[in-house]
A and B are shown apart, each in its own frame.
Chain A
């Protein structure tokens, strides 16, 4: 599948954003934010800003950008529509949460809105993941790893932003350094498990089945319908050399997960916590973009079978 920059930005930035909002909501809900209202408000502002950037990037992907609002209508069947509804719902809830926190501290209203914010943030990430997980022709997406993985990466990257805000505004990372290291380790294991899973998969169908011949018939392409690329080949026939993907997987693992794991540990030991968390954030952003690029580039689509591609 062709990795489109707008979609890479959407899924990565909303992961950071909704992960951050979920952590702030959870902290508030547990009463861990008493006296740290500026931290929570800054988190809400940053989270909504990054989510808006991601959603804005996704609108750039559309052929008819001015009609983007129509995407909210089919929430009964479409995960893309549900993602839009979840994203829009999170705005007023996050704002109500911040207002409640400012007006009467971490009382019941702030805690309730915090809990709802956790739910809508994670639900939005889940909907994003289900857009991919529900696509039956793509074996690398249509599996039981995709949805939990997106949630794990969001919780991890959000923890990193939260750690940075915590360190900047409160002067100490507190428990967030350890949270970053733990979630980074979980994310690393999840990504490795995903790659093991997709590497062991067999193609969803054979060319014989694609043209209605009996299973086991040997079929090879003879003449393609057209000499140049068309939309189907550009969009669904994107292929990446295996040695490139191996290299990029190492980069994604190293920068996206291993580096923040180590730097998170440093921060938790109070060794240059600000530099460590800031460095971890930069590494993770680049690493997660690489990981997301691979998520698309390594995904194969059944329709490419008709052109004799490996799927």
Chain B
């Protein structure tokens, strides 16, 4: 047996994701997906992979990640509008801004666990939401949202149509690869140990608090990149980017896809967005009801989400192949 795993074994998921993502403009229209939705799916893949580093690895359920998504979106919008139409400085400033906020919120909220942590993160996000609606209205545009940005540019390339798609898809692939690397690193091991048994971890010489903060900040950075890309994709920032609905949607996508698997939440995001934007047209007004039923079915019968279904099918195939 070879102990050193090959490049293919280690990076199978990333390679498959890259193939699916980069060919998306070819096959997505065949299932009635319109162009633009594929970009949005890529953006939410980034958001969800990052979110899984927090929820999936450490088990801490944040109900406030819209804060980082929204802060980054507003920062990007303001940078594009007032500084330069180049997206690179805008994205960098957005990520730095959200990261700083995440460090402060993380330090304050991670003192608590379980429902108390979730409520605290929700409260912070709602604070930012109401700030955007009132206090900072002159900057954020309040109810109307932030508009009037020039067409975002990547140096000389206009960020429209397929340029935006490939830019976000490459970012998504890269960030998924980084998440996979983190998962395989000692840091990933410690983060997962937090979910298993935090007391034992502390009694094994590990500063769980710092690893939790690291997971929180990394996931916030992913959310920030997603938020910034949302503005590159569509030069508009609405206050609902910061809203609790946005935070909740991310949680639902994670659960449907399979918490802790990194791939699962991305599938969850793709499924939800596809459902909301494509299938909802066929289902008419009842689409939310159907979505609710699907969510209930998944939680009751497949608590591991879509990934559990995949694993079950895999297992069945392997056992029948071995058995006969």
Task: Tell me whether A and B are bound partners.
Answer: no
